[in-house]
Amino acid sequence: MDLMTKQLLMKLEQWIEQDKIVRFYQSKEWRKIRAVTLRMYGSRCQQCGKKATMVHHKEAVRKRPELALRLSNLEPECKVCHNKEHPEKLAKFHKKIFENEERW
Ligand SMILES: [Zn+2]
Ligand SMILES: [Zn+2]
């Protein structure tokens, strides 16, 4: 399953360039694939088995935008495990997005 379209990929590449990647996380395509991912794994964190609230990109969106909406590149994680995956994001990105959106 892959919800990426040429059009969306072009937009996403622009957002990455402009540091507006948050727009990707607001897209209906992301919301959909995110929900599918959580459902597929029964909302269990793939690291520790607790309840997952986030969906992680194994290949980062910035590095491989073409994989951003591909089911096989996604896995659910709880907040704790997800923070461990992204130590750099805590400092680098807006804290607000990380804590409220829970979509990384
Ligand atoms: Zn976990
Ligand atoms: Zn992640």
**Nearest 10 degrees: Cα torsion 91, 33, 76, 18:** -10
CB atoms within 10 A of CB 76: 24
Give residue limits of the domains in the chain. Answer: 6-101
Give the ligand whose atoms come closest to the C-alpha of residue 53: 1
Measured in whole angstroms, how far is the alpha carbon of residue 34 from the centre of its chain?
A: 8
**Nearest bound ligand to the CA of residue 56:** 2
Predicted confidence band of residue 70 (pLDDT cuts 50, 70, 90): very high
Distance 56 CA to ligand 2 centre (A): 4
Distance 2 CA to ligand 1 centre (A): 25
Instruction: Please tell me the distance from the alpha carbon of residue 99 to that of residue 50, in angstroms, as a whole number.
Output: 18
Q: Span 54-61, mean pLDDT?
A: 96
Beta carbons within 8 Å of 65's beta carbon, 6+ residues apart? 9, 12, 13, 16
- The CA 22 to ligand 2 mean position distance, Å, reads 13
Ligand nearest to the CA of 52: 1
What ligand has the least distance to the C-alpha of 47? 1
Retrieve residue 100's tokens.
């409220």
% pLDDT > 90, the chain: 80
47 pLDDT exceeds 60?
yes
Tell me what the mean pLDDT of segment 72-94 comes to.
82
